Structure 1
Amino acid sequence: MSYLEATNDLYKEAALTPDVGLCCTTNPIWQFPGLSVPKIMQEMNYGCGSTVSAQDLVNNPKVLYVGVGGGMELLQFAYFSRQKHGVIGIDVVDEMLEASRKNFRIAEEENDWFNSEFVDLVKGDALHLPVKDESIDVAAQNCLFNIFKIDDLKKAVGEMYRVLKPHGRLVMSDPICEQPMNDTLRNDDRLRAQCLSGSIPLKDYIKVLTDAGFGTIEIRARKSYRVLSPNHYPTDKLIFIESIEIAAIKDPMPSDGPCVFTGKTAIYYGDEPYFDDGLGHVLMQNQPLAVCDKTAAALAKSNPEIHISESTWHYNGGGCC
């Protein structure tokens, strides 16, 4: 049995019998005005964060969500879209698709505004998306891509890039791990399917995104997720796993490399009213400006009277690059 078959089996079980403890998100369940999320959807929330952000969902976007789970985030996306076929949910597991269809009927009863026709549920593979090129405004996945081994991860990200319109957004939440894992952990298909042993370092995760062509990367959240301890897992040391929320934007790749925002700011504290580096970055005296990591490094070298903050791993727009 391959690791992908093990994953499909695990989520078939989770579709037939909801497993509240399968994933462990520290996010609240977003309850927007007029939105009721059915209890069964909350129980089948198999994610490690959230991919739903109002800033991404303007002007009636066409949304793609891969790995439907119980349908909760599909419902939340539909809350903003509210149009027939506005949201596409893709999953390779028949039982999960059927569970979501049932859950959407419950959602119709609890939400006067919701119609199941807002969401198209389609059987498909993340590595071969049944979606047209450049047809999607916002693509999302939650705690799925970390399951893939590196070659399949590149394929999955490449598929998302293909279907996104120019300047479209790939919004994701996944576990990451900065520590090395032994081969026993890495090769345990069940642990990989449980979103544990497939976790990779953040820099490697970002590189897959930028290698695919995404010119702008936003790190929106970075949180504690799980620990793999020697008394429960085949490891002789404690391994700390975090979850991230990240947006990759299909902007053109800058000539000097991608813009990666990790929550850094620059503050000019010199005697002049402002500092202009001549490259499009103007810092008003004592006013923080959000900057990407490469701009932060350049500004630090250009003027000793600029303070560069540490990464907060939280960025929600603004500033410059």
Structure 2
Amino acid sequence: MTDDTLTDHEPTETDPTTRRSTVREEYGSIANTGGDCCGTGDDCCGTDEIGTEADGTAADRARSIGYDAADLADAPDDANLGLGCGNPVAISNLEAGESVLDLGSGGGFDCFLAAREVGPEGRAIGVDMTPEMIETARTNARESDLENVEFRLGEIEHLPVADERVDTIISNCVVNLSPEKPRVLAEAFRVLRPGGRLAISDLVATEPLPDKVREDPEAVAACVGGAATVDEMERWLDDAGFVDVSLTIEGEWTDDLPIVSARIEARKPDE
């Protein structure tokens, strides 16, 4: 391939920059309207499997994927946008005084829950690439009673966090949206302290997806088109340097695609 070929390359729908723009636009619309995933009015991210509760409010959807009444009461009303596929805070084993980072924090729901878990001596940081989501989260923070939570604008492939600054990383149905997942995991490894933990909820594919799904911007923004396979995710975590990798499938996510919800855990080695 020549330099001229690279120079003449035109962005396509599968180009990483184009994919990020599509996702940013979709989730900016959600932040502005408080609507469902991708502004479709349908269940978020194709969540057919979670039952009739998912057809209700964001609170109904949150309860159907593992949150309880106390979780909903502990976060500002507008923080839960009904966009998750699990409850990463519940699997993170947070301790008082820790620093926790949420990749793709949206309206801040999981960040607020994490901030209460780590207490006033700890800190919760949310990173999101969508300005509208950051503004929503910051508004929620100002209206909350929490002083140990903050939200930063940035891409999860280029985290606005210094090396070895956080104890735990959480994320909820966001890594699948990235067109550069190995880089996301490498960045997560970079900002974790030695011995730090990764605890994320996400969607993965149990077998490779058809090209027509992977190349469909709407399917990507709806959390399914960009789902990595189980083998890919485990390999990328290993390549990034993580140990004690565990990927636990929690349930089917759609009727017509091999997509499942998963609990993904790993640890950065001690020094």
Instruction: Provide the secondary structure at the position in 1 that maps to 2:44.
Output: coil
The 10-residue stretch of structure 1 (172-181 or 76-85) with the greater mean CA deviation from structure 2: 76-85
Aligned residue in 2 for 1:139: 169
The CA deviation string for residues 224-268 of structure 1, in whole angstroms up to 9 with x for no partner, is 2123xxxxxxxxxx3231110111111269xxxxxxxxxxxxxxx
Larger Rg: 1
Residue 217 of structure 1 deviates from its aligned partner by 1.3
Aligned residue in 2 for 1:305: none
What code does the residue aligned with 1:22 have? C
C-alpha distance in structure 2 between counterparts of 1:104 and 1:148, whole Å: 26
Aligned residue in 1 for 2:157: 127
The CA deviation string for residues 150-197 of structure 1, in whole angstroms up to 9 with x for no partner, is xx1111100000000111011111111123322221111121111011
Aligned residue in 1 for 2:102: 65
Aligned residue in 1 for 2:234: 206
Q: Is the 8 A contact 2:129 2:155 kept in 1?
A: yes
What code does the residue aligned with 2:67 have? I
1:161-172 aligned at under 5 Å gives the runs 161-172=189-200
Instruction: Provide the secondary structure at the position in 1 that maps to 2:258.
Output: strand
What code does the residue aligned with 1:51 have? P
Instruction: Provide the secondary structure at the position in 1 that maps to 2:88.
Output: coil
1:196 to 224, 235, 249: 224
Q: Is the 8 A contact 2:197 2:268 kept in 1?
A: yes
What code does the residue aligned with 2:265 have? A
C-alpha distance in structure 2 between counterparts of 1:73 and 1:49, whole Å: 10
1:4 to 20, 25, 38: 20
Instruction: Provide the secondary structure at the position in 1 that maps to 2:75.
Output: coil
1:1-321 aligned at under 5 Å gives the runs 2-20=18-36, 21-23=43-45, 24=47, 26-32=64-70, 35-42=73-80, 44-53=81-90, 56-83=93-120, 86-106=123-143, 108=144, 114-115=145-146, 117-149=147-179, 152-227=180-255, 238-251=256-269
Aligned length: 233
TM-score by length of 1: 0.67
Residue 37 of structure 1 deviates from its aligned partner by 3.1
Aligned residue in 2 for 1:270: none
C-alpha distance in structure 2 between counterparts of 1:213 and 1:133, whole Å: 15
Q: Calculate the aligned-residue CA RMSD, in Å.
A: 2.3
Instruction: Provide the secondary structure at the position in 2 that maps to 1:226.
Output: coil
Give the direction of change, closer, same or farther, for the CA distance of 1:46–1:158 in structure 2 (3 Å limit): same
Q: Is the 8 A contact 1:179 1:239 kept in 2?
A: no
Residue 45 of structure 1 deviates from its aligned partner by 3.1
Give the direction of change, closer, same or farther, for the CA distance of 1:220–1:147 in structure 2 (3 Å limit): same
Q: Is the 8 A contact 1:31 1:37 kept in 2?
A: no
Instruction: Provide the secondary structure at the position in 2 that maps to 1:87.
Output: strand
Residue 212 of structure 1 deviates from its aligned partner by 0.5
C-alpha distance in structure 2 between counterparts of 1:247 and 1:39, whole Å: 29
Q: Is the 8 A contact 1:85 1:120 kept in 2?
A: no
C-alpha distance in structure 2 between counterparts of 1:207 and 1:156, whole Å: 13
Q: Is the 8 A contact 2:115 2:122 kept in 1?
A: no
What code does the residue aligned with 2:241 have? G
Name structure 2 gaps, 5 residues minimum: 1-12, 37-42, 48-60
Which structure dedicates a bigger proportion of its chain to helix? 2
Instruction: Provide the secondary structure at the position in 2 that maps to 1:4.
Output: helix
Q: Is the 8 A contact 2:97 2:122 kept in 1?
A: no
Give the direction of change, closer, same or farther, for the CA distance of 1:195–1:17 in structure 2 (3 Å limit): same
The CA deviation string for residues 273-304 of structure 1, in whole angstroms up to 9 with x for no partner, is xxxxxxxxxxxxxxxxxxxxxxxxxxxxxxxx
Give the direction of change, closer, same or farther, for the CA distance of 1:239–1:67 in structure 2 (3 Å limit): same
Instruction: Provide the secondary structure at the position in 2 that maps to 1:128.
Output: coil
Identity, % of aligned positions: 28
Residue 34 of structure 1 deviates from its aligned partner by 10
C-alpha distance in structure 1 between counterparts of 2:253 and 2:31, whole Å: 23
C-alpha distance in structure 2 between counterparts of 1:33 and 1:49, whole Å: 13
